[in-house]
């Protein structure tokens, strides 16, 4: 019996020590990643840093915070008063100032539940400027330890010698996934997000490994989403700057020419002034389209919705563009069914969609060509197809035409003064009507844009 109890005590101590050490290493790895995140982003990007901290905190099931040397909150989740007292203790603060990591487990003053936390120095300009704190309740770790001890105890009942050998074998088998988790967590801390662990059991450790895999995949997805939004923001700033630069340069150049007296005739002066007005109008359209797209992205649906008869809407929209088509010698072919086609939507926005698509089709068609506009029914929805007789769009470009400021200059000449935002606005409006818009094209045979909308109940 004494050997039995002695073996149980040895195993309990080994398991407890190993799991606590594994958890401490795991938190230290993640705290060092937090230091990297803090030093990577700029100070004015605190919102983005906090978003990444929230994702990482959810993944670790722990609280993450960055404090200065006086315990003041810098970033992350707010820290409690008892925790702040621990941080300001001379022993704790002294280790941080000397550049060492700190691991603490136990009760905080005035707090019932025990806490497990690590502190990692935050360095800036080769000196310690604060502390990264990752903390979680100690109860979850103890529950796991108790689960492992109970399995070891059951195995030990088989026999003193056999139970000791068997329980050690089981302990190693159960802890192996934790070691893999440590290795995987290290890779994640180094930026290899989404890394997975092979799940070989359905017990507590197997479920923990499965949860680890799910959280790792979610972490990768969230990180990629944040990076995508950051990339889109940078691309938007770059595109807007590019689109503004050309008209501003033209306006400045012609204005200086007029002011410096380089214009020798009244006709030339009128020509320069017309170019300035044209570029100013282009800038105004660009700003209007940007504001329109921003307004659409800020809401999920339109306030003014009603039953819309598409037959009438198509006729009204095409009537407005007949003069433009005639000036370019483009024939408009309109196909409208006798049956009334009704949807639930915003008529003004739908007119904007149709006008944009038909206007593009006219501008991209050769003189003497034809643009066909067809309204019809398909299954439980309605469709409006706009087909032009232009040069067409390369297949590899079709997915990109919906991006902001994207222009297929090599294959579709932009004779007009488009801003490159029209198709982005069209796509957003149709999606807000729970529909979709697709583009089909073949080089030399024109392009067709089809809008699909659900019928009104």
Which CATH number does the domain housing residue 252 bear? 1.10.287.130
Q: Are residues 394 and 434 in the same domain?
A: yes
* Residue whose token pair is 């707010």: 78
Residues 48-75 have a mean pLDDT of 79
Gap between the Cα atoms of 375 and 336, Å rounded: 5
Lookup: tokens for 81: 């008063």
pLDDT at 208 over 90: no
**Would strands 306-309 and 331-335 be described as parallel, antiparallel, or unpaired?**
unpaired
Domain end marker among 274, 297, 320 = 297
**Position 414 confidence tier, pLDDT thresholds 50, 70, 90:** very low
Q: Give the Cβ contact number of residue 77 at 10 Å.
A: 16
**Average pLDDT across the chain, whole number:** 79
Lowest mean pLDDT segment, chosen from 229-233, 367-371, 411-415: 411-415
Identify the residue with better confidence: 385 or 158. 385
* Residue 203 belongs to some domain of the structure: no
pLDDT at 64 over 70: yes
Q: Are residues 25 and 130 in the same domain?
A: yes
DSSP 3-state of 41: coil
pLDDT at 309 over 60: yes
Residues 299-310 have a mean pLDDT of 81
* Residue 377 belongs to some domain of the structure: yes
Q: Are residues 34 and 52 in the same domain?
A: yes
* Residue 210 belongs to some domain of the structure: no
What CATH number corresponds to the domain at position 371? 3.30.565.10
pLDDT at 411 over 60: no
Gap between the Cα atoms of 344 and 407, Å rounded: 32
Lookup: tokens for 366: 């050769």
Give, in order, the Cα–Cα distances in Å from 159 to each of 152, 153, 171, 384.
12, 11, 17, 80
Phi-psi region of 236 (alpha: psi -120 to 50; beta: other; left: phi over 0): alpha
Identify the residue with better confidence: 343 or 61. 343
Q: Are residues 319 and 394 in the same domain?
A: yes
Nearest by Cα to 141 from 173, 92, 103: 103
Identify the residue with better confidence: 322 or 82. 322
* Residue 373 belongs to some domain of the structure: yes
* Residue 199 belongs to some domain of the structure: no
pLDDT at 416 over 60: no
Domain end marker among 275, 297, 319 = 297
Gap between the Cα atoms of 313 and 307, Å rounded: 11
Q: What percent of the chain has pLDDT over 70?
A: 81
**Position 413 confidence tier, pLDDT thresholds 50, 70, 90:** very low
CA 29 to chain centre: 25
CB 38 within 8 A of CB 49: yes
Give residue 382's pLDDT: 93
Give residue 56's pLDDT: 77
For the purposes of burial, counting CB atoms within 10 Å of the CB of 285, is it exposed (0-12), middle (13-18) or buried (19 or more)? middle
CB 15 within 8 A of CB 22: no
For residues 171, 176, 182 and 184, what is the CA-based torsion angle, rounded to 10 degrees? -160
Lowest mean pLDDT segment, chosen from 171-185, 331-345, 365-379, 410-424: 410-424
Q: Are residues 352 and 332 in the same domain?
A: yes
**Position 410 confidence tier, pLDDT thresholds 50, 70, 90:** very low
Gap between the Cα atoms of 13 and 23, Å rounded: 15
Identify the residue with better confidence: 357 or 19. 357
- Tell me which range, 137-146, 416-425, 428-437, is most confidently predicted by mean pLDDT: 428-437
Question: What would you report as the CA-atom Rg of the chain, rounded to the nearest whole angstrom?
Answer: 33
- Could you give the number of structural domains in the chain? 3
Q: Give the Cβ contact number of residue 28 at 10 Å.
A: 19
Nearest by Cα to 302 from 264, 346, 367, 343: 346
Residues 424-435 have a mean pLDDT of 87
pLDDT at 412 over 50: no
Q: Where are the beta strands (DSSP E) in 246-318?
A: 306-309
* Residue whose token pair is 């905190």: 57
Q: Which residues contact 184 (CB under 8 A, 6 or more apart)?
A: 195, 196, 197, 212, 216
Domain end marker among 134, 167, 192 = 192
353-392: b or e for each residue (b if 16 or more CB lie within 10 Å)?
bbbbbbbbbbbbbeeebbbbbbbbeeeebbbbbbbbbbbb
Q: Are residues 237 and 348 in the same domain?
A: no
Q: Are residues 287 and 311 in the same domain?
A: no
Q: Are residues 292 and 311 in the same domain?
A: no
Give residue 18's pLDDT: 77
* Residue 226 belongs to some domain of the structure: no
Question: Which H helix or E strand runs over 221?
Answer: helix 204-259
Q: Which residues contact 363 (CB under 8 A, 6 or more apart)?
A: 328, 414, 415, 416, 418
Gap between the Cα atoms of 56 and 444, Å rounded: 52
- Give 151-163 pLDDT, tens digit per residue: 767 766 666 667 6
Give, in order, the Cα–Cα distances in Å from 367 to each of 16, 323, 370, 388.
82, 14, 9, 12
Find the length of the chain. 457
Q: Are residues 63 and 126 in the same domain?
A: yes
Q: Are residues 40 and 187 in the same domain?
A: yes
Give the residue numbers spanning the domain of 238.
232-297
Q: Are residues 138 and 175 in the same domain?
A: yes
* Residue 178 belongs to some domain of the structure: yes
CB 87 within 8 A of CB 68: no
Q: Are residues 10 and 141 in the same domain?
A: yes
pLDDT at 12 over 90: no
DSSP 227-261: HHHHHHHHHHHHHHHHHHHHHHHHHHHHHHHHHTT
Q: What angle do CA 144, 150, 151 make, to 5 degrees?
A: 95
Gap between the Cα atoms of 253 and 444, Å rounded: 38
* Residue 386 belongs to some domain of the structure: yes
């Amino acid at each position: 019996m004494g050997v039995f109890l002695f073996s149980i005590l040895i195993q309990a101590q080994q398991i407890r020590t190993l799991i606590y050490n594994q958890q401490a290493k795991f938190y230290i790895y993640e705290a060092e990643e937090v230091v990297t995140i803090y030093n990577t982003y700029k100070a004015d990007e605190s919102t983005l840093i906090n978003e990444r901290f929230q994702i990482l905190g959810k993944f670790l099931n722990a609280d993450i915070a960055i404090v200065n040397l006086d315990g003041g909150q810098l970033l992350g989740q707010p820290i409690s008063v008892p925790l702040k007292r621990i941080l300001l203790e001379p022993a704790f603060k002294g280790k941080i100032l000397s550049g060492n990591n700190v691991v603490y487990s136990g009760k905080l003053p005035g707090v019932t539940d025990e806490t497990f936390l690590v502190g990692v120095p935050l360095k800036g300009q080769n000196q310690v400027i604060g502390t990264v704190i990752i903390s979680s309740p100690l109860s979850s770790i103890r529950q796991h330890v108790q689960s492992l001890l109970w399995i070891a105890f059951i195995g030990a009942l088989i026999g003193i010698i056999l139970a000791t050998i068997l329980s050690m074998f089981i302990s190693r088998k159960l802890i192996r996934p934790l070691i893999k988790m440590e290795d995987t967590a290290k890779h994640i801390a180094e930026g290899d997000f989404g890394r997975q662990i092979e799940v070989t059991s359905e017990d507590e450790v197997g479920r923990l490994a499965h949860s680890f895999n799910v959280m790792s995949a979610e972490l990768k997805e969230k990180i990629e989403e944040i990076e995508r939004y950051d990339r889109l923001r940078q691309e938007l700033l770059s595109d807007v700057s590019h689109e503004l630069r050309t008209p501003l340069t033209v306006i400045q150049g012609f204005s200086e020419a007029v002011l410096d007296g380089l214009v020798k005739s009244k006709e030339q002066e009128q020509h320069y002034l017309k170019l300035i007005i044209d570029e100013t109008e282009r800038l105004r359209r660009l700003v209007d389209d940007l504001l329109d797209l921003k307004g659409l992205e800020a809401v999920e649906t339109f306030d003014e919705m009603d039953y819309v008869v598409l037959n009438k809407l198509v006729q009204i929209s095409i009537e407005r563009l007949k003069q433009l088509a005639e000036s370019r010698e483009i024939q408009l072919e309109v196909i409208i069914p006798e049956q009334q086609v009704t949807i639930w939507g915003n008529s003004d926005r739908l007119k904007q969609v149709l006008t944009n698509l038909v206007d593009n089709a006219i501008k991209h068609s050769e003189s003497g060509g034809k643009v066909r506009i067809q309204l019809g029914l398909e299954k439980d929805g309605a469709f409006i197809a706009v087909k032009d007789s232009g040069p067409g769009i390369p297949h590899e470009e079709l997915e990109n035409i919906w991006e902001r400021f994207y222009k297929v200059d090599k294959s579709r000449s932009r004779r007009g003064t488009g801003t490159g935002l029209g198709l982005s606005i069209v796509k957003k409006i149709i999606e807000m009507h729970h529909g979709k818009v697709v583009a089909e094209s073949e080089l030399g045979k024109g392009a067709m844009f089809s809008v699909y909308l659900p019928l009104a109940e």
